[in-house]
Each structure stands twice: as structure tokens, then as C-alpha cells.
Amino acid sequence: MKTSIRILFFFVIAAITSAIQAEPGKLAPHPFTHNGYSRPYLVYTPGHLGVHLPVVFVLGGVSSSAASTAQELGWTEEADRKGFMAVFPEPLTQDPSKPFVKRENTTFWEMQGSRTHIVGSNAPVDDDGYLMGVLNQVLHNEPVDGKRVFMVGFSSGSGMVQLLASRHPRSITAIAAIATPLMEPPPSLPQPVAVLYIHGDDDEQFSGFEVNSPDFATTPHGNWVTWGYLGGCHLQRAKKTPWGVQFSWEGCRNRVPVIADFVHGLDHEWLTTKSPWNLAHRPDGPLDFPEIAWNFFVSVPAR
């Protein structure tokens, strides 16, 4: 009898230990090849796994990787807090046949009208096809809700998620684009996309577009205006915020929100609560882009 109790106790302890180990969630690599290029992506499953989870794709900027984006932008922590799955796709270097070298052969996302990959005799680098291929595989293999597909991008990743949403509006529910506008907008969309655009007013990387670009959408302020037109919106609003100014559209098709937050004193930077910019500018009310983006996503009406 005592032996049976000890065995039962052992299995109970083992089960509790296993549950504790699974609590924080996990970041798992998934092999994927597109156009002959090996581009494995990472999937983060939250500690409390549910069914029909929302899914957030996160794209970093120049010099990023799937691993660095997962580690540095705060989305795994947000996934655990809010209960969604996070996917981190892999960008390629400018010359995919050569290893990564910062500033010489760095990684980036295609964003139309910007950098292009050097492929020589190899197959073209098709970021659009790659991301849609990863999305289809995730929808097929993971317990996610295909009606709640969200995408976030910073810098070149921002240009890429906007380009992707403009091409595949029926597949993407909403996007959050930080620090880079859409370079070449389409004339119209068959279905509106919810857009949150965030830009720092000290971001010199794109400030010249306001006067130099012939394409209105490539100006930081013109970007949210263009998305409003694409969404069939009718009325523009503006209000001061503790961090700058917020522009928004009203009367959009399907009640889809289109919002732009311009942050006073912010350069070309991604913000979490621990960012040095927050410590210097907003120690008592830090801006956290994952939190802001997620709150926007959950505000989007169901399709």
C-alpha cells in the first residue's frame, strides 16, 4: 500500500513539474523554403494555449532576423499576457548568396521603391510570396483563427506589411506599421484593412519625403490619409495626446479604423517600456508599441 502511494505521489509531482515547465510558452523554429531560399520562421505559443487563437506576424527592420525580432521587440511577452500566437518570419540579406554583414550585406524586407535584393542567376527574392506561404502554413498547422490575422512591422518591415495588406486585404485583418510609410499604394482595395500607423516627428529617415516625394503616400503624414482613402473613409479627426498628436478617420467601410499616432521627440526607434527613450521622455507613462498595437487589434470589428 505504501509503495502504491509513493508511486502515485511520484506521478502527481511529475505532472505538476511538467505543467510548470510548459507555463512560460515556447519559441519553436519551423523549416520553410521559398524560391530555393531556406527561410525558417519562428512561432511563439503562449503559456496558456487556447483554441482559435489570434495570430500576430512581426517583421523587424534592417539588420533584423527572426530571432532578434522575437527577442527584442516585446511580442513574446505580450503574447503571454494577452493569449495570442506570434510568428516571426525570416528576412534575407541583400545578396542571399553571401553571409550577413551589418551595413554591407544586411537583411531587410522588400517594400517597393526601396532596396532590392541582388540575386544574380538565382531565383528572385519574393517576400510577398514567402509571407503568404508562411501564413497559409500557419493557418493550416496551428490552432489559430483565420479571421484574426494581424501583422506588425518596424522600418522596412513596416513598408512590407503595408504592401502585403494592400495586395492581400482579404487575408489580413489589421496591421500596425511603425516608422515607414507605404511606398506604392494601389488605386483601390476590394476590402478595407484596419491600419495603425506610428511615426516619430524626429524621424529624419523619412522627413524629406514630405516635400521631395511626388507620391503622396510616401510622406509620413500622407500615409494615414492614403489609407483612409483606400478604406473608403469620409471624415478626418485630430486630437492632442500626452505623447504628440493622433489623427483618425471616421465613416470607413465596414467600420474599419484608420489611425495615425505621431510621437513628439521620437526618432527612428521601436519602443517598449524599458526603452531608453521612455526613461528620458516618459518615465511615468512609457509608450509600449506591442501594447498599443494589440489594443488596436482587439478594437477592430470582427469580419
Look at residue 126 in the predicted model and tell me its pLDDT.
94
In angstroms, the CA 203 to CA 267 distance is 4
Q: Global pTM?
A: 0.89
255 burial via Cβ count (<10 Å: 0-12, 13-18, 19+): exposed
When pLDDT is cut at 50, 70 and 90, the band that residue 293 belongs to is: very high
Cell numbers representing residue 223 in the block: 500615409
- The pLDDT > 90 percentage for the chain reads 71
| β-strands 144-154, 174-178 pairing | parallel
Does 123 have pLDDT greater than 70?
yes
pLDDT for 46 equals: 92
Q: What pLDDT, on a 0 to 100 scale, did the predictor assign at position 24?
A: 43
We find that the CATH architecture of domain 26-299 is 3-Layer(aba) Sandwich (3.40)
pLDDT digits (tens, 9 = 90+) for 53-79: 999 999 999 999 999 999 999 999 999
Residue among 56, 113, 115 at smallest CA distance from 91: 115
Q: Give the C-alpha distances (Å, rounded to integers) separating 173 from 9, 148, 170, 189, 282.
A: 48, 6, 7, 13, 31
In the structure, what pLDDT confidence band is assigned to residue 95 with cuts at 50, 70 and 90?
Answer: very high
